[in-house]
């Protein structure tokens, strides 16, 4: 059974999500603070972590950063905050997805299943290496390097990079990437934009003037040599 760690300070919401996810077949452990959640994840790593942003003490953003610094566990934010700034900040901190409360358990469960499928698969696993100038992507090994130096990326960032690399020079729209990488038929396209921005920070010499990961205005993104 998939193990879910739920970091949520509202007792009613924590209980409601726990019961709902257990009905969906998950094993859920809940904590009321980020500090407790971080300790719990160190003690017994969960397959996926759900994080609220408005937590007492250490807030959700810092919790995400600390989780991400430790490993690439899938992280989903479940928050009442629906402002663009909050969503972008959470994704930039390292979250893989963002859902606004109130959350339907069926939708949350579908998002979790998609995250786990992405974690277990690579879209171009049969290819040994994909080279774009000084950028090298090794799908089988799950590795990215720039000028021979390894670059740390999350699972979602890696899948996004592989999807673009599988179609070199071809423009893929945000909707196409959302469907192929996140496996969402519809959703918030800001997920794509923020992850592209994070990748540029890691693989481009000048993220403001990228050479490889290029925006085609009004169309989408492409990876070029």
pLDDT of residue 118 exceeding 80, the answer is no
Residue predicted with more confidence, 4 or 180: 4
Of 75, 101, 119, the residue at which a domain comes to its end is: 119
Predicted confidence band of residue 188 (pLDDT cuts 50, 70, 90): confident
Of 119, 138, 167, the residue at which a domain comes to its end is: 119
pLDDT on residue 9: 97
pLDDT on residue 120: 58
pLDDT of residue 55 exceeding 50, the answer is yes
Answering whether pTM is above 0.85, one says no
Taking a C-beta distance cutoff of 8 angstroms, is the pair 50, 44 a contact? no
Domain housing 212: 125-223
CATH of the domain at 9: 3.40.50.2300
Same domain, 115 and 12: yes
Same domain, 131 and 100: no
Tokens representing residue 164 in the block: 């673009």
Predicted confidence band of residue 203 (pLDDT cuts 50, 70, 90): very high
Of 90, 119, 148, the residue at which a domain comes to its end is: 119
Taking a C-beta distance cutoff of 8 angstroms, is the pair 127, 139 a contact? yes
Nearest to 29 by CA among 63, 64, 60, 4: 4
Predicted confidence band of residue 123 (pLDDT cuts 50, 70, 90): very low
């Amino acid at each position: 059974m998939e193990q879910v760690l739920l970091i949520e300070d509202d007792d009613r919401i924590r209980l409601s999500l726990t019961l709902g996810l257990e009905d969906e077949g998950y094993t859920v452990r809940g904590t009321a603070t980020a500090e407790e959640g971080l300790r719990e994840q160190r003690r017994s790593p969960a397959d996926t972590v759900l994080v609220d942003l408005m937590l007492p003490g250490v807030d959700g953003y810092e919790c995400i950063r600390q989780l991400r610094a430790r490993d690439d566990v899938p992280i989903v934010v479940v928050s009442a905050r629906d402002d663009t700034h909050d969503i972008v900040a959470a994704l930039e901190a390292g979250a893989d997805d963002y859902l606004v409360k109130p959350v339907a358990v069926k939708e949350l469960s579908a998002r979790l299943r998609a995250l786990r499928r992405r974690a277990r698969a690579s879209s171009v696993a049969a290819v040994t290496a994909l080279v774009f100038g000084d950028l090298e992507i090794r799908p089988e090994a799950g590795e990215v390097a720039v000028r021979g130096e390894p670059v740390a990326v999350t699972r979602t960032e890696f899948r996004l990079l592989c999807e673009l690399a599988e179609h070199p020079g071809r423009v893929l729209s945000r909707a196409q990437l959302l469907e192929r990488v996140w496996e969402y038929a519809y959703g918030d396209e800001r997920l794509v934009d923020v992850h592209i921005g994070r990748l540029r920070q890691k693989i481009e010499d000048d993220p403001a003037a990228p050479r490889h990961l290029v925006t085609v205005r009004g169309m989408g993104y492409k990876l070029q040599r």
